Structure 1
């Protein structure tokens, strides 16, 4: 799937994000704690990228909320993401790493994909290029900007909490 996503993005071209935000030049992330995103905790499933997706978020512990993500096509894992939302310097940062189905990494050993906090509202958190919103008690929408070589696309994932 890692190769498929960039190939698809080359055909999409540059798209304006509708659900995500970016920090302005020189702007800092606002103060925040994990209490503001505690609603993310739980197990979520949905369909996206032509397959079934699952995200599992732990409760806050040690200044972070850990998560795992997987995409399944035809009963096989296409890729995983592992990461956390961490309290750092009086704000929040979401960090993750990607892995193939056999757990070989996409990023280098010391590299992470980082999303700085832009804005926090009740039941909605904006990181740079990634927004998570609680739609009701058991539904969540995640919007994320993906791409390469200056060509981006905003993908929307709709989840339902299953436990």
Structure 2
């Protein structure tokens, strides 16, 4: 789905949105350990971007929680994301890479899309431009700011545990 690629190219730090936050200039990420976000673990599905989204989070191992994301549109893979939340310098960072349905990468081999931790609440984790919220044991909402050319939009993904 080539029309999705320009839409999904991430341009972080442009604006605040309704459910997402940014670190203020000079502000550091809070000290947090990975065990505070273990509620993400599991297989989640929902409707997104005109298709069906699936997100799978592994339990913590080796200082990270690994995830995969897949968007299926009209029975075909639109794109994947692979990444992790990693403990780094006494805080958390979410890093990911995008791939087309044939696993060709969007980013260069050395490049990742990184989200610094802004703050953490009991069932809500705020990274720069991306927020994940546990609504109950079987529901999660992910809000992400997408943008290009100075225009941004916040997309909301509503998931159910599968």
TM superposition score normalised by structure 2: 0.93
CA RMSD across the alignment? 1.7
Query: What is the alpha-carbon distance in structure 1 between the residues aligned to residue 2 and residue 29 of structure 2?
Result: 30
Residue 16 of structure 1 contacts residue 153 of structure 1 at CA under 8 Å; is this kept in 2? no
SS of alignment partner, residue 36 of structure 1? helix
Pair 1:146 & 2:149 matched: no
Q: How does 1:1-163 map to 2 (within 5 A)?
A: 1-6=1-6, 17-162=17-162
Post-superposition offset of 1:147:
1.2
For structure 2, the 5+ residue unaligned runs are none
Query: What is the alpha-carbon distance in structure 2 between the residues aligned to residue 49 and residue 5 of structure 1?
Result: 12
For structure 1, the 5+ residue unaligned runs are none
Q: How many residues align?
A: 158
Query: What is the alpha-carbon distance in structure 2 between the residues aligned to residue 143 and residue 8 of structure 1?
Result: 13
TM superposition score normalised by structure 1: 0.92
Q: Classify 1:15/1:32 alpha carbon distance in 2 versus 1 (closer, same or farther; 3 Å).
A: closer
Post-superposition offset of 1:42:
0.2
Query: What is the alpha-carbon distance in structure 1 between the residues aligned to residue 77 and residue 160 of structure 2?
Result: 20
Post-superposition offset of 1:104:
0.2
String of CA shifts for 1:102-146, please: whole Å, max 9, x gaps. Answer: 000000010000000000110100000000000001000000001
SS of alignment partner, residue 105 of structure 1? coil
Post-superposition offset of 1:6:
2.5
